Structure 1
């Protein structure tokens, strides 16, 4: 019975953890995106705190949750696929129920990271357009920062996001953006930056899952007992933040590639190598650490919450209750 309900239970655990985590840390994720998209000489925000303060001041409290709807909608399948896929591959790589060595842990994490990009790429693509709209608007409001001859390049997104000053500004939804992209570019429009997303998510999973497994093992009273929930939470936070910082350069490249609407004098990129070389040449190595602190603050509690959900067995409880109801009927 436990084998039969294992997969749906893990899907539920991952989904609930994703929704709770995203709701708690989304404003920090918004700050991360805006900081990563800033170029030298065009800084609107000095730090994460400065970004959040200016966002609330100019866009209101809910301005910090631009793009949250698409994240909340897609984070359930995204986290569920990632976590369930890792467990699936771990199960098939283990022999006779014995634990995995570090190489097999990394292999399972790699496979899980490759599976999740099916949902992650369009989710990130839509989220970034909504999150970065406020930065472009703030950039144009800042005196002397943008020459009047150069505005954002993408006409569809300029119209949608109101990056050009407009007295009748209107909000745009993820659905509208998706329709525009599908109409003009087809399905590949939603998967722009797929290579960069793989470059970020596969190494993240390779680092995260083995690190969490080994950290969590240290908190077990004995090999046959589970670690306390607080230890699972701490292990998830440490492993998540470590992996997040490790792959931050890839996240910067992904964010730049997926930002369709550009500010004044901001480069366009033809691919991963072009993006990496232009950032290195014009902004230096430190540019690849932009938003690293914010990303660590986003990922740490998110994966800590995930591990607590797994420890509490919320998914297992929901699935078992559902089966009991079906049997009683």
Structure 2
């Protein structure tokens, strides 16, 4: 069977549209995940629902979308690169219409590696904006130790030097970006790039092969797998994306916790700062125990499952091909 050439512009459009729709639907849960993962001392939130309820009560409905502008701006190139790169790598690694499992895993690895150039600064900015409400709530939470011992009021910017990089009230993505570039250069925006790579590469190596095999169930497997995937009905791509996304998300949650902690510049009172991946891992294990590495696992599964379900469903609707066809 003749191979159908991958249209990279169409795939980029598909990935961008898929990312925009998916992120808009699940962003509040992602905000809850970030806040729960960053809790170390004072437990402001008891869980996802408690976090969302308190956020709406203290910050309003749109408080659940703090950092969404950054995500919506950068998720288009991020998802476009991720989904399109996987397609391109699968096309290149296929031979006579067949792609072995090792090829699927390698294609996922390539896709995860390519996306980090956009994912790292996007996550870096998003996390500061998402976590600002938690820090404000923590400052107003009753602390028995502080009530018993008179002294100066806790610092508004935390105890770490990195905290001074983030404005104490209502930080904006522009202000954070300017300050990071001024004080640390471009490397400031890529803080935690190693941890992001450690999370995204294994995620993609699990997600894409699992999705491809679920998406092809019950249908003819002859021909190039990319073509067969394009023929999948919307509901099958949606369910396959949800299932593969939730499995991969939970599997890499410990790496996501480490990444989130490393990229959080502003720390609350008494919260640890970290020198790197190994130091972060050791401190979390010693201070909070193994269970801390699964903080936000439920939220992460609830974010990634519908995000990739929606994204893959829309991706395979072929919006990009339709747009290019109209323009052509």
Normalising to structure 1: TM-score of the pair? Answer: 0.91
Give 1:6 deviation, angstroms: 1.1
Pick the aligned partner of 2:236 from 215, 226, 231.
231
Kindly provide the CA deviation profile for residues 266-293 of structure 1, in whole angstroms up to 9, marking residues without a partner as x. 1110000000111111111110110011
Does structure 1 residue 289 correspond to structure 2 residue 291?
Answer: no
Residue in 2 that maps onto 1:305: 310
For residues 4 and 53 of structure 1, the distance between their equivalents in structure 2, rounded to whole angstroms, comes to 48
Does structure 1 residue 280 correspond to structure 2 residue 279?
Answer: no
Give 1:5 deviation, angstroms: 7.0
Residue in 1 that maps onto 2:46: 46
Q: Contact (CA 8 Å) 2:166, 2:266: kept in 1 or not? A: no
**Count, aligned residues:** 313
For residues 318 and 62 of structure 1, the distance between their equivalents in structure 2, rounded to whole angstroms, comes to 32
Give 1:156 deviation, angstroms: 7.6
Give 1:42 deviation, angstroms: 1.2
The 1:84–1:159 alpha-carbon spacing in structure 2 relative to 1, beyond 3 Å, is closer
The 1:106–1:145 alpha-carbon spacing in structure 2 relative to 1, beyond 3 Å, is farther
For residues 81 and 19 of structure 1, the distance between their equivalents in structure 2, rounded to whole angstroms, comes to 13
Q: Contact (CA 8 Å) 1:78, 1:120: kept in 2 or not? A: yes
Give 1:310 deviation, angstroms: 2.6
Q: Contact (CA 8 Å) 1:5, 1:316: kept in 2 or not? A: no
Does structure 1 residue 81 correspond to structure 2 residue 87?
Answer: no
For residues 146 and 247 of structure 1, the distance between their equivalents in structure 2, rounded to whole angstroms, comes to 36
For residues 102 and 159 of structure 1, the distance between their equivalents in structure 2, rounded to whole angstroms, comes to 45
Give the secondary structure class of the aligned counterpart of 2:102: helix
Q: Contact (CA 8 Å) 2:15, 2:79: kept in 1 or not? A: yes
Give the secondary structure class of the aligned counterpart of 1:218: coil
Residue in 2 that maps onto 1:37: 38
Q: Contact (CA 8 Å) 1:42, 1:145: kept in 2 or not? A: no
Residue in 1 that maps onto 2:105: 106
Residue in 2 that maps onto 1:153: 159
Residue in 2 that maps onto 1:59: 59
For residues 158 and 184 of structure 1, the distance between their equivalents in structure 2, rounded to whole angstroms, comes to 11
Kindly provide the CA deviation profile for residues 213-250 of structure 1, in whole angstroms up to 9, marking residues without a partner as x. 11111142664653322111100000011000000000
Structure 1: 5+ residue stretches without partners: 163-168, 324-329
